[in-house]
Amino acid sequence: MFDITGEDIASLNDTDLRTLVARLAQAELSSRRAPLSSVTAGGAQDAADGGIDVRVDQEALHADPDFVPRAKTGFQVKKPDLAAQGIKDEMRPGGVLRPSIAALAEAGGAYIIASSGASLTDTTLARRRAAMREAVNDHAQGEDLFVDVYDRDRLATWVNQNLGVAAWVRRRAGRPLSGWRPIGVWADLRVADDNGYLIDDALSLIDERDGAKTLPISEGMGLLREALQKGGQCVRLIGLSGVGKTRLVEALFEADVGEGTALDPGVSVYADYAEETTPSAREMASRLVEDGQRAILVVDNCNPRTHGQLTEVCSRPGSQVSLLTVEYDIRDDEPEHTQVFRLAVASEGLVVTWLERDFPHVTQGDRGRIAAFSGGNFRLARALANTVRQGETLGQLRDQELFERIFVQRNDPDKTLLHDAELLSLFYSFDVTEGGDGELHRIASFSGRTVTDFYASIAELQARGVLQARGRWRAVLPHAIANRLATGALRRAPPQAFDSFCSVLPERMIKSMSRRLGFLHDVREARAVVARWLDPAGPVGDLLAEPDLAMLTNIAPVDPAAVLARIEAAVAAGALDALDGRNSRRGAWNNLLKALAYEAELFPKAASLLAQFVAAEAPNENYDSARSAFGELFQLYLSGTLAPPELRRALIADLLASPDPGLCRAGRVALDSLLTAGRFSATSIMDFGARPRGYGWEPGTRRAQAVWYEEALDLVRGGLLDAAEVRKLLAETIRDLWGYAGCRSRLTAAAETFAGEGGWLEGWTALRVMMQFDGAGMPDDIRAEALAVIALLAPNDVFTEARAWVLSVRPGAWDVADLDDDAETDPSAGWRRAEEKAREIGRVMINEPDALAPFLPEVLAASGGGDRSASFGAGLGEGASDLGVAWAQLCAAFADLDPAVRNSTVLGNFLRSAGVRDQSFVSACLNDAVDDPVLAPHFAFLQVVSGLDGPGIDRTVGALNAAGTVENFWHLSHIDPEKLPAQDMARLLDVVIELPRGPALAVDMLWRYFYRLQKEPAPVYDPVLIDRGRRILTLIDLNDFNDFRDSSIKTLASAVLAGDEGRATARVVGQRLYAGLNADRAWRREAHGLVRALFKTQPETALDTLVDGPEGPVERLFRRLVGQRSPLDSIDLGRLVAWAEHAPERRYAQLGAMTSLFRKDQMDTVLGLNPTFIALLNAAPDKLGFLGDAHSRVQPNGWSGSLAEILASRKALLDDLPDHPDIAAWRAREYPRIDRWIAAERERESEQEESFE
């Protein structure tokens, strides 16, 4: 993209040339992960430097050497061209070989002359090499020395491999890419031109994605470097304007500061969106990713939207581009696929140290005064220090005077300029586009001045460094300056006039103003404005009617109590009723209420309102649910509130005691969060204007942390929850809280209570799990207490054993079995032991009716079946002394349950094991079950589990006929077709197919038969089942398709539609698909499997029905497919052409419209023109009709990065279309349209990337 030429190299001066070669050598080593410290450079080209300007000194040669050919390589850098004699004189001054070159020969190294003045042909290059070889001929190891000459063209080739170096060369050559430059100011191997990056113990980075963890700056730099060393990684550096983010970025490339390996500036390029940038960052990123080039892309002043777009590009699979974006605006900056680091404000001490180094004329007292006033902001400190003349002191100036000094600098005071700046600062940013409706025109009109006057003021403010530009956007920065200026505007503006001004502002401008107001909470006039805005009849209308509550959120920091009262009134008036469904604004309300709950005095009201949001949503709601924001308020760390623990517990108690089930549910959410003891996260913490915000109340000591959990456990046992909830909740906390002595005593006391009240299964298994994972590292006394409680809770009779072993819902068996033999190496041994134990319990319990009776309601309920209820049921059937009595007892208990919770797993496995003993008994039970009102809904499961034989088929057919529906027969899908005779399977299918939704069940029953046989080299299918499969496909309803069933239908269709015998069925299937898809315009994506099977088995029939149908092709089957090939791709080109030739005028146009112009990969990336499309185009009689509209041809299905860049690359491929007059005419017609489209996209993308908001 930077396209360096030999002429660019020739334009460099001798110092730049040495820097260039040093950077190139370092870049080659960096790309091979070799130590960069091996490269050294220094000295002037014409100095007596021993013949070496740049030296590479490695212990061993790096991998895949290129321009640095040996481990020991010396470069002599020369601007003039050296002829053969000049080379000899250079290498052998006075006729003696230079010692530095002799040392390279002895080490088997390389000596290379790099000359920017040389442009060598093969012949002249050979002469130069021969002269170098002759110069070392008399040295004993001369033959071991590699020699070469790099002329300007070879140097340009080397440069073009390294993005950062190329950017540097273009700037030095006087033709930079607009807005793009290398990292830092290069001088040899140094990146910065100051005296180094200053750090102190207080300077820190905050890792926003690791629980807002605060890191010393050196450690944080190591993490940043580690991330950016890898291609495809995206990092966001945020922080207030002026805190030193850009200087930190430079420091990442400096070797002598911070942890980790310094980044290589040779592969890095930097853009600042405060400047005009061409190409855009998205275009740059897209090109680099497409070219597979290793690069570190740094984009400063990058707004969140642009960052998201860049992340989509740079994180693509295979990307070698690392992304680092920098931005001052940190509100809601939580992008996906990104590591986010926040640079904290520097300490006053560090600012003082910096001032002492860079402004030595400022006195020590004034340095402290500047540091205190700037609040750790280097930009403010620099601006103020620049106003201090030699020998001058700031003395006792007040803050306002210091501010005026920064604003005025060394100019004469200008009240007009000040007033213009004040008015401009009312807006977070503003647009300087000219026009009667333009933003600058509106601002100027309010002040009574002209747009021309304001343009002049803007230019002066920018010159003074208090206004930044991004394209057409301007913003007064940093905020510390803008906030003071905006305060002046509010104090000068009459309230009525100001309200009238606000009432006619466009939505963007009033939102921008609301963001500025949000920083002015300590300004009386700002609070007055907010009070007027909160009135629904005020100058800006009802703020709660905004879809995203943006303005209300912006101004909330000014008067949180008033905003909270406004929300409370809205909720009381029924605002929650409108916040259901997926298009709701719940997320904005949740985040705002969470922010308002920060101060302790507002917490009860804000949290209670948020609890109402939790109560109003469905318990399983996951779309913008309030549960997350609400729950965070009650966690120990990262809560986002200063409310003390007792205030939070009091609210939880009130919620749990509420008669409203929804509020009780909110109380449980809060209680769960209160007991959370690790892996804290905060999804909704946000900055709140200029109000100081932390991460919430935190315990100052280990004891305070313990008290938090002790009080939480007391709340759990305080009588506000039912007994089952208490048992479950306490068990879930055991592993996290057992280490706290006070919690341990409370949990032990609870265990003792529960042991006398029927036991505590949840606690017993939780303790065993804890010991399994944590026991080895426990102190002896704590371990002994745990083992004592385990022994206390251990099952001691058949009933408690049954609850422990059968009802466990853990996915494995280590909770009850593995601990018995920790030497077991077979990971499934514990599971087998547990299954056998459950079976044994069943064999024993069936003959102890007093123990079985209270257990059956639990094990027969859907929620309590556990992992081992099937084994338990089998044990019951094996151990029953009287099968009839046992079956009656099971059925009676089953009938007593609520139909909604009945689980027939135990019953079915009882019958399965009973069948081994007495098959006639099982048959009688199943016969009775068909007509039994309790068992009939479960008959299909009972029959399938018991085994399906001839009588079973008869019984099932009768049950289906009697029911007239397949509603309770979906378990028939578990039939193994290979274990049934084909005729029996067909008889069952015949009944199923005729019932409503029966074809769907029939697919589920039959597909496995074909799936297994298709794995054989030459499968032979039973003709009876082939016939049934074809019939099913002609009857299946599109509404019964889903992801799994579509795969099953594809398997079925691939077998039964093939060959001449399947063609008639294929035509019916195609026609039904065509009619159904055209009737239901909402495409069901799950039918793609059937469509592909149809095109594979009967391509001509599929083309007839789905492409050449009466209403034209079903476009959504062939167009806009992402991540999957078109069904047409499976058809041989000859067959496509032959089909089209039957009606060429119509069919070629249809194929043209349905065939992709481009060949693409799974990610929809264009790889070139589609050969099938080109072949069909060549065959088509009407080429213009075949090509159609270019817009639909080049538009991607979806994209990340720059659409303009994608369109441009696709347009370029159109030049490769066949050479034909009609095609040339099509290009002439369509190219201008595409060019206008590309230009419009570039303009739109530029505006998005340049925005401050």
Nearest residue to 192 via CA among 11, 17, 358: 358
Does residue 724 have a pLDDT over 60?
yes
Mean pLDDT of 70-89: 93
- For the stretch 303-343, pLDDT in tens is 888 898 899 899 988 899 999 999 875 544 456 668 889 88
| DSSP result, 1145-1169 | HHHHHHHHHHS-SEEE-TT--EEEE
pLDDT attached to residue 813: 47
595 in Cβ contact with 688 (< 8 Å) = yes
pLDDT attached to residue 755: 92
pLDDT attached to residue 1088: 83
pLDDT over 70, % of the chain: 93
Comparing 352-356, 807-811, 821-825, which segment has the lowest mean pLDDT?
Answer: 821-825
Pairing, β 110-115 against β 146-150: parallel
1188 in Cβ contact with 1152 (< 8 Å) = yes
Mean pLDDT of 787-811: 85
- For the stretch 704-723, pLDDT in tens is 999 999 999 999 999 999 99
pLDDT attached to residue 1080: 67
- For the stretch 1081-1104, pLDDT in tens is 544 555 788 999 999 999 999 999
Does residue 823 have a pLDDT over 80?
no
Distance of CA 758 to the CA centre of its chain: 48
Q: What is the C-alpha separation between 1252 and 275, in angstroms, rounded?
A: 13
Lookup result for tokens 């910065």: 192
pLDDT attached to residue 685: 59
Does residue 385 have a pLDDT over 70?
yes
Neighbours of 535 (CB within 10 A): 13
Lookup result for tokens 């040392």: 103
pLDDT attached to residue 1079: 79
Instruction: Give 206's DSSP letter.
Output: E
Per-residue tokens: 1178:
């060549």
Question: What is the longest distance spanned by two Cα atoms in the chain?
Answer: 118
Sign of torsion over alpha carbons 995, 997, 1000, 1004: negative
Mean pLDDT of all residues in the chain?
89
Q: Is 1038 helix (H, G, I), strand (E, B) or coil?
A: helix
pLDDT attached to residue 46: 45
Q: What is the residue type of 396?
A: Q
pLDDT attached to residue 191: 65
- For the stretch 642-660, pLDDT in tens is 999 999 999 999 999 999 9
SS3 track for 804-846: HHHCCCCCCCCCCCHHHCCCCCCCCHHHHHHHHHHHHHHHHHC
pLDDT attached to residue 333: 47
SS3 track for 289-310: HHHCCCEEEEEECCCHHHHHHH
pLDDT attached to residue 192: 59
pLDDT attached to residue 928: 96
pLDDT attached to residue 866: 55
Q: How far is CA 785 from CA 527, 769, 779, 782, 855, in A?
A: 59, 15, 10, 5, 30
Mean pLDDT of 797-801: 88
Does residue 169 have a pLDDT over 70?
yes
- For the stretch 473-526, pLDDT in tens is 999 988 888 999 999 999 999 999 999 999 999 999 999 999 999 999 999 999
Q: What is the pTM of this model?
A: 0.71
pLDDT attached to residue 826: 64
pLDDT attached to residue 300: 92
Q: What is the C-alpha separation between 150 and 154, in angstroms, rounded?
A: 6
Nearest residue to 1210 via CA among 1220, 1223, 1197: 1197
Mean pLDDT of 620-628: 88
pLDDT attached to residue 200: 81
The secondary structure element, H or E, covering residue 943 is: helix 939-946
pLDDT attached to residue 1122: 55
Mean pLDDT of 250-275: 88
Asked if the bond preceding 279 is cis, omega within 30° of 0, the reply is yes
770, burial (CB in 10 Å: exposed 0-12, middle 13-18, buried 19+):
middle
Does residue 945 have a pLDDT over 90?
yes
Q: What is the C-alpha separation between 302 and 846, in angstroms, rounded?
A: 71
Q: What is the C-alpha separation between 907 and 1100, in angstroms, rounded?
A: 52
pLDDT attached to residue 678: 86
pLDDT attached to residue 466: 87
Sign of torsion over alpha carbons 851, 855, 857, 861: negative
Nearest residue to 769 via CA among 825, 711, 808: 808
